Structure 1
């Protein structure tokens, strides 16, 4: 990628189950298990080396999902989404995919701009409190860019869903 470049992948219908999907580095065999409450919780996203667990509001069904891989911080979309959190992510290979629950399908993503190393994930959510399994009402945006290691941050919270996750993490 050249300076100030962003590659965007739109997944119109991402199948979710158990309210989750995964970002998985190619160096990991699969998303696998996530153990307990992480030491640095960020509500609707949890990370371990080479993988991230991304929660959605829908228990099962289809959501819209966009991933933007940038060479720098692209800026949060504060007006377009109800909830926004960020967290550090370590990519051993510099190549990742978005996996549906249980390994059903993997959606290839552009190579990460700085290759193997540390990145920042900014996860945006809209419609998490909707309960319509028949129509795509939820949409998610995941931004990925190179950054030094860093802890979690909640930039915006408006949904009851994110608030429940944050309350759960604080109580453990």
Structure 2
């Protein structure tokens, strides 16, 4: 029997940032911008030990956010989102949460299906360019879907790219 659980919430962002944090005793969001993968840049999601740096189009305000935790690859939603990227993530605890910028609100998500170990993160984005133009809004302009399922570590990849924001964040710095 396969299992898939999805939670949705309004996510407060500042500086176009939010974080996926592994639920360990020393869990903390990244101290600053995490470097993109050096040979396979995906731009809008970056991973380092126990955390993923999630980039949004909106600088400050509220974005729509959903997280799906599955025991298998749930398939990319190529019709519903403009940009889709994937990257590997190792969870030490087997539990993660989404944290708002600056130690803000934590959003609990379902427990990871295979406990501690390697997972694939597929980050979907819609309306990043429009949100970046607006800059600040309490109305939801851009929305995101983060899918998480067990998978051995593999190279990051861009599944679909349509926005100028994704192109911007993928550029070498």
Question: TM-score of the superposition, structure 2-length normalised?
Answer: 0.91
1:62-117 residue CA offsets vs partner (Å, 9 max, x unmatched): 00000000000000000000000000000000000000001110001110000000
User: Structure 1: how far apart are the matches of 2:161 and 2:15?
Assistant: 22
SS in 2 for 1:129: helix
1:108-141 residue CA offsets vs partner (Å, 9 max, x unmatched): 1110000000000000000101134242111000
Name the structure 2 match of 1:95.
95
Runs of 4+ in 1 over 2 A off after TM superposition: 34-41
Report the CA distance shift for 1:113/1:17 in structure 2 as closer, same or farther (over 3 A). Answer: same
Matched, 1:21 2:25: no
Report the CA distance shift for 1:77/1:162 in structure 2 as closer, same or farther (over 3 A). Answer: same
Name the structure 2 match of 1:139.
143
User: Structure 2: how far apart are the matches of 1:141 and 1:66?
Assistant: 5
SS in 1 for 2:13: strand
Matched, 1:8 2:34: no
User: Structure 2: how far apart are the matches of 1:137 and 1:23?
Assistant: 21
User: Structure 2: how far apart are the matches of 1:134 and 1:112?
Assistant: 30
The alignment covers a number of residue pairs equal to: 166
Unaligned runs of 5+ in 2: none
Name the structure 2 match of 1:151.
155
Unaligned runs of 5+ in 1: none
1:39-69 residue CA offsets vs partner (Å, 9 max, x unmatched): 4432100001211000000110000000000
Question: TM-score of the superposition, structure 1-length normalised?
Answer: 0.92
